[in-house]
Amino acid sequence: MKIGNHMENNRHTILLVDDDTNILASLKRLFRRENYNILTALSGMEGLEILKANTVALIISDNKMLKMNGVEFLSQAKEITPASIRFMLTGYSDIEAISAAINSGEVYRYVTKPWNDDGLKFAVKEALDRYELINENRNLLELTKSQNRELVELNKDLELRVEERTFKLQETSELLRISTLAAKESTLETIHRLTLIAEFKDQETALHVKRVSNYASFVAKKLGLSEEEVELISYASPLHDIGKVGIPSEILLKTGGLNSEEFTLMSTHATVGAKILQSSKSEFLQMGSKIALTHHERWDGSGYPSGLKETEIPIEGRIMNLIDQYDALRSSRPYKFGLEHDAAYTVITEGDGRTEPEHFDPKMLELFKDTHKEFARLYDRAV
């Protein structure tokens, strides 16, 4: 057992737990050239002692071990270090039990034996990116709590001052404006952080988020929506795919086509995203929930998750359906190359078997035909 401070040079620490010394040796060799600190344990109990004395970013544990199996170990590990990302090594016979552990939050993901070296290294890199993001958000939350406490004290002081004298109307209006602006900036920061989470999971880029926001603002203005509605959809539209945090990376990044079971699972990102955002009191997040739920609905009723058609689909969902499809056609993904503007325009206006004109609100489609050069300009400006 190795115990001590293993965070020199700000390197991430990985704990490997397996009662098979050959497995531990293979894993250590795999990560030898990576810039990680590696700790090892031959049992769950030994692993728990290490966790009490070290800051560990990632735990990789075998499931079948004597005295304490992997699920039991990781369950107790979560109590000691809830911020650590937890992986399970398992054979196919244990996948059902491990899946239950994933659903309960005890395990982040599982890796079947024998593993693929490149695949495991990629999964570890993705998990450590997630660990960094979670820690960043945790620090942001603590900062926000501190600022809120300061704000409470400030409000108390202001109340005392109000009792002592009457503020001039101009000063009161200015305080209200500043308070409203601060609340709005806080909400927009929340939206930005939620968008970052989706990007880490789906490997989308910040440019995609910026383009979607710009398209949405442009289309909303052209449709004559109010200034408030334009602002809402502009800031909320990047949240359309937040539900992809619930989709396994091996499906999101699959280079081939999805089978029916995988597509069904992928489709759930619309409802998952809506549920993540729906309980917020923020107008921006409420709008984001509506967009997440309906951006794959189609005018002819062939979309998902509810098969809505025509004006049953809210205007925000109809806008998002068009702009998301345009940007998806232009963008390169693991399973395809991006199209040039003229080719994307042809697919949307004439169809290609997968995308058809009748999928879109006719009013949106006509607007796209009339202004498609502006879509190309917005795409190129963000590249």
Q: Say how far apart CA 20 and CA 229 lie, in whole Å.
A: 60
Mean pLDDT score across all residues of the chain: 81
CATH homologous superfamily for the domain 205-382: Hypothetical protein af1432 (1.10.3210.10)
- The answer to whether the beta carbons of residues 166 and 95 sit under 8 Å apart is no
Q: What is the pLDDT of residues 238-253, one digit of tens each?
A: 888 888 877 787 777 7
Q: Say how far apart CA 82 and CA 371 lie, in whole Å.
A: 50
Q: Say how far apart CA 308 and CA 316 lie, in whole Å.
A: 13
* Token pair listed for 314: 């809210």
Could you tell me which residue, 93 or 8, shows the higher pLDDT? 93
- Best CATH choice for the domain 8-124 from the list 3.30.9.30, 3.40.50.2300, 3.30.1310.10, 3.10.450.50: 3.40.50.2300
Q: Name the helix (H) or strand (E) containing 214.
A: helix 206-222
- The answer to whether the beta carbons of residues 378 and 211 sit under 8 Å apart is yes
End-to-end CA distance of the chain: 50
Q: If DSSP codes are grouped into helix, strand and coil, which group holds residue 60?
A: strand
* Token pair listed for 8: 């020199």
The two counts, helices (H) then strands (E), for the chain are: 15, 5
Length of the chain: 383
Q: Say how far apart CA 80 and CA 88 lie, in whole Å.
A: 17
User: What's the DSSP call for residue 106?
Assistant: S
The pLDDT score that the predictor gives to residue 219 is 97
Q: If DSSP codes are grouped into helix, strand and coil, which group holds residue 41?
A: strand
In the chain, what are the domain boundaries? Answer: 8-124, 205-382
β-bridge mates for residue 188, sequence order: none
Q: What is the largest CA-CA distance in the chain?
A: 77
Check: pTM over 0.75? Answer yes or no. Answer: no
- The answer to whether the beta carbons of residues 59 and 17 sit under 8 Å apart is yes
β-bridge mates for residue 112, sequence order: 90
Residue 323 identity (one-letter amino acid): I
Q: Is the pLDDT of residue 231 over 50?
A: yes
Q: What is the pLDDT of residues 21-77, one digit of tens each?
A: 999 999 988 887 778 899 999 999 999 999 999 999 999 998 888 889 888 999 899
